[in-house]
């Protein structure tokens, strides 16, 4: 029993010391890994990182195409199964007496609005409306200042004792 308790205590001490040891190893390795590197090793590292950064977009597109092909292949297999009759001909809802009712919703968007992008939320619409109002107010103020400048052009300053006319 004493051997079991002592080994259990040893295990827990070791387990508790793991994060501290991991932290020390991380700091030591991240600082001292640069000490033994030669110029050739630096060039290799730069070439590997640069190659990765260069090839990553191409590899990502290649993976996307392969995934799309696999997805399309799975869909085609399901369609073939349906044509061959492997799918159930009666849905479970029909067996439960659902009556086959279906609900269709009217589209709120008109056909013209499709393809214009994402819809804005209420807050975004309010913010945009405020920005438009502020811009219109600035434009109106600038036009009034321009009108005042045009009028001042035709006015003559009158001083008493001088012939202004």
Taking only Cα atoms into account, the Rg of the chain, rounded to an integer number of angstroms, comes to: 39
Residues 70 and 51 in one domain: yes
> What global pTM score does this model have?
0.33
Q: What pLDDT is attached to residue 121?
A: 85
Within-domain flag for 49: yes
Within-domain flag for 69: yes
Residues 41 and 77 in one domain: yes
Within-domain flag for 106: no
User: Residue 105, Cα to own-chain centre: how many angstroms?
Assistant: 30
The answer on pLDDT for 25 being more than 90 is yes
| Residue that is written with structure tokens 């090839």 in the block | 55
Provide the greatest CA pair distance for the chain: 123
Strands (E), 37-102: none
Residues 67 and 27 in one domain: no
Residues 41 and 83 in one domain: yes
Residues 81 and 55 in one domain: yes
Number of domains the chain is built from: 3
Instruction: List pLDDT tens digits, range 111-138.
Output: 445 555 567 788 888 999 999 999 999 9
**Domain that residue 137 falls in:** 123-154
Within-domain flag for 9: yes
Within-domain flag for 159: no
145-149 long-range contacts (CB < 8 A, ≥24 apart) are none
Within-domain flag for 102: no
Task: State the number of CA atoms in the 13 A half-sphere of 112 facing the CB.
Answer: 0
Which residue blocks in the chain are alpha helix, DSSP H?
Answer: 2-32, 39-84, 92-95, 122-154
Geometric angle at alpha carbon 152, from 147 and 153, rounded to 5°: 100
Within-domain flag for 10: yes
């Amino acid at each position: 029993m004493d051997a079991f308790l002592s080994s259990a205590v040893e295990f827990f001490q070791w387990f508790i010391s793991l994060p501290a040891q991991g932290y020390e190893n991380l700091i030591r390795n991240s600082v001292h890994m640069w000490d033994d590197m030669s110029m050739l090793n630096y060039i290799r590292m730069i070439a590997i990182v640069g190659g990765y950064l260069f090839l990553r977009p191409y590899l990502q597109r290649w993976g996307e195409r392969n995934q799309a092909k696999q997805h399309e292949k799975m869909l085609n297999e399901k369609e073939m199964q349906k044509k061959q009759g492997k799918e159930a001909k009666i849905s479970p809802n029909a067996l439960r007496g659902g009556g086959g009712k279906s609900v269709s919703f009217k589209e709120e968007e008109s056909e013209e609005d499709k393809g214009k992008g994402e819809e804005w939320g209420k807050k975004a619409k309010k913010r945009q409306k405020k920005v438009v109002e502020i811009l219109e107010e600035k434009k109106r103020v600038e036009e009034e200042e321009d009108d005042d400048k045009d009028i001042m052009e035709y006015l003559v300053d009158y001083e008493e004792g001088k012939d202004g006319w």
